[in-house]
Structure 1
Amino acid sequence: MTKHWVKEYLLITFGIILVAIAVEYFFIPNNLAAGGVIGLAIVINSLIPQIAVSTITLVVNLILFVVAFLLIGKQFGGKTLYASVGLSVIMWIIEYFFSPFAITRDLIIATIFGTLIAAFGMAIVFNNNSTTGGTDILAKLLNKFFNINMGKALLIVDIIITLAASVVFGLDIGFYAMLSVIILGITVDRFIDGFNTSKEIMIMSTSVENIGEFILKDLNRGCTYLNGVGAYSGEDIKIIYAILSRGEFIRLKSYIKEIDEKAFISVRESYEVLGEGFMKME
Structure 2
Amino acid sequence: MERAGLRKTLWELLVELAFDGVGSFAFAVGMQMFIAPNQIAPGGVSGLAVVLNYLTRVPIGVWSFFINIPLLLVGLRFLGRRFALRTLKTVVVLSVMIDYAAAPLPAYTGDPLLAALFGGVLMGAGMAVVFLRGSTTGGSDIVSRVLQLRYPYIPLGRILMSIDVVVILISAAVFGRIETALYGMVAVFTASKVIDGILYGMDTGKLIYVMSRDSQTIAKRVMAELERGCTLLKSTGAFTQSDAQVLLVAVRRQQYHPLKKIIHEVDPAAFIIVTDSTEVIGLGFKPITG
Q: CA deviation at 1:31?
A: 0.7
TM-score, structure 2 as length reference: 0.61
Equivalent residue runs for 1:48-197 within 5 Å: 48-49=56-57, 51-94=58-101, 98=104, 100-141=105-146, 146=152, 153-169=159-175, 170-194=177-201
Q: 1:4 to 1:120 in 2, by over 3 A?
A: same
**1: CA distance, partners of 2:132 / 2:158:** 16
Q: 1:149 to 1:173 in 2, by over 3 A?
A: same
Write the letter of the residue equivalent to 1:21.
V
Write the letter of the residue equivalent to 1:162.
I
Runs of 4 or more consecutive aligned structure 1 residues displaced over 6 Å after TM superposition: 147-150
Q: CA deviation at 1:189?
A: 2.5
Q: CA deviation at 1:164?
A: 0.6
| Residue 41 (structure 1) aligned to one of 44, 49, 52 | 49
The residue that corresponds to 1:232 in the other structure is: none
Query: Cα deviation per residue 1:67-124 (whole Å; 9 max; x = unaligned)?
Result: 122222222211110111111111121476x2x4323421111111110111111112
What is the SS of the residue equivalent to 1:269?
Answer: coil
Write the letter of the residue equivalent to 2:99.
W
1:8 aligns with 2:16: yes
**2: CA distance, partners of 1:186 / 1:149:** 18
RMSD (CA atoms): 2.9
Q: 1:94 to 1:13 in 2, by over 3 A?
A: closer
Contact 1:151 1:186 in 2 (8 A): no
Q: 1:140 to 1:127 in 2, by over 3 A?
A: farther
**2: CA distance, partners of 1:131 / 1:140:** 11
1:24 aligns with 2:32: yes
**Identical aligned residues as a percent:** 30
TM-score, structure 1 as length reference: 0.63
**1: CA distance, partners of 2:13 / 2:156:** 23
Write the letter of the residue equivalent to 2:60.
V
**1: CA distance, partners of 2:158 / 2:128:** 13
Structure 1: runs of 5 or more not aligned? 198-267, 272-276
What is the SS of the residue equivalent to 1:105?
Answer: coil
Query: Cα deviation per residue 1:155-175 (whole Å; 9 max; x = unaligned)?
Result: 232111001111122101211
Contact 2:37 2:109 in 1 (8 A): no
Query: Cα deviation per residue 1:166-208 (whole Å; 9 max; x = unaligned)?
Result: 11221012111122122223332232112999xxxxxxxxxxx
**2: CA distance, partners of 1:163 / 1:19:** 22
Query: Cα deviation per residue 1:6-51 (whole Å; 9 max; x = unaligned)?
Result: 32231122111111111111111111111121211111222222x2
Q: Paired residues, what number?
A: 201
1:269 aligns with 2:274: no
Q: 1:58 to 1:168 in 2, by over 3 A?
A: same
**1: CA distance, partners of 2:92 / 2:202:** 25
**1: CA distance, partners of 2:33 / 2:289:** 36
The residue that corresponds to 1:238 in the other structure is: none
Q: 1:87 to 1:148 in 2, by over 3 A?
A: farther
Structure 2: runs of 5 or more not aligned? 1-7, 205-278, 283-287
